[in-house]
Amino acid sequence: MSRQQQILAEIGIRPLWQLRSTADAAHPPGTTPIETAPIEAAPIAASPAETLPVPEFVTSTAAIEPASISTPASRTDSAEQPLPLAIANWEDLHAQVAACQQCQLAKTRSNTVVGRGNRQARLLIIGEAPGEQEDLQGLPFVGKAGQLLENMLAAAGFDSARDVYICNLLKCRPPGNRNPAQDEIVQCQRFLQWQIEAVKPELIVAVGRFAAQSLLQSTASLGSLRGKQHQYGNYPVLVSFHPAYLLRSPGEKAKAWQDWCRVRQLLQK
C-alpha cells in the first residue's frame, strides 16, 4: 500500500481512489468505488495538471469586502465594535493577541492561538476556535481533529508547513469547546482580517459552520455553502467540514475529500 493509500485509509475514506482500470480489477461487478482517479502526494506547485473527480462548483454571487488593514475603524463605546486595527507586523500581531482582553475568553484561556504554517502560503485554512490541546500548546489544529486535517492535506498533496497557513476565527478557547458567541467573533475578527491581508492567499478554505458563516456573512447552512465558490474581497473561498465534525460523523469524509480535491484543482490552475 502506498503512503497516500495509507493516509486515505487512516482518514477513513474507502474504497481507496484508484485509476478506473485498476479499480475495475479491484472491485468486482456489483461494487462501485466512490472515486476513480489517484492523487499523487507532491508539492502543489510542482504537481502536474490532472483531472480530479470533483463535483461541479458554482460561484456564489455574494462578494464580501474585508476590512482594510490600513484604515482603522472608528472606535466607539459599543461592545459590538472591535478596537481600531493597527498591527505593524506578525510579531506585533502575536503580541497584541497575547495581550488581548477584548472578550471574556481572555479570562479562561491558557494560551492564545494565532496560527501556524507558511505566512506566505497560497492556501489559507480558517477554523473555528482552539480546542483543549490547542489551548495548551498555543497552536491551532494539533489535537485529533488537527491530525485528521494533516492527513487529508497530505493525501491531497499539501505539505502543511510549506503550502498552508492555518488559523482560527477566535484566538482563545471557548470553555468546554462551546460554540463561539457573536460578540467574541466580532471582537476577534480584526486579527483574522489582518492575517488574511498579510498572507494574501490564492484560496481560503473555511472549515466548519462558524468560520464559513462569519467569513461570508451568511446564515446559510454549511451544507448549502459547500460545493460553491464564494468570494471574500479579492479572495476566493471554499467551504468544507470542520475535521472535528468529521471525527464525529465519519460518513461525511467522502464529501470532505471531494472538497480537498477541488482545493487542489483550483491551486493547480
DSSP state of 178: P
Question: Among the candidate windows 6-14, 47-55, 60-68, 103-111, which touches ligand SF4 by CB under 6 A?
Answer: 103-111
Burial class (CB in 10 A: 0-12, 13-18, 19+), 212: buried
Residue among 17 and 141 whose Cβ is closer to ligand SF4: 141
Nearest to 188 by CA among 124, 93, 111: 93
One residue of 170, 196, 225, 267 binding ligand SF4 per CB under 6 A? 170
Which cell numbers in the block locate residue 201? Answer: 492567499
Residues 80-99 that bind ligand SF4 (CB under 6 A): 97
Rule CB under 6 A: say whether 103 interacts with ligand SF4.
yes
Q: What number of H helices and E strands is found in the chain? A: 11, 7
Min dist. Cβ of residue 181 to ligand SF4 (A): 10
- The tally of CA atoms less than 13 A away on the side-chain side of residue 233 is 15
Dmax over CA atoms of the chain, in Å, equals 68
Residue in the block written with cell 477566535: 170
Residue among 171 and 230 whose Cβ is closer to ligand SF4: 171
Residue among 82 and 143 whose Cβ is closer to ligand SF4: 82
Rule CB under 6 A: say whether 188 interacts with ligand SF4.
yes
Rule CB under 6 A: say whether 135 interacts with ligand SF4.
no
φ and ψ of 159, to 5 deg = -95, 115
Min dist. Cβ of residue 185 to ligand SF4 (A): 9
Min dist. Cβ of residue 215 to ligand SF4 (A): 16
Could you tell me how many residues make up the chain?
A: 269
Footprint of ligand SF4 (CB under 6 A): 97, 100-103, 105-106, 112, 170-172, 184, 187-188
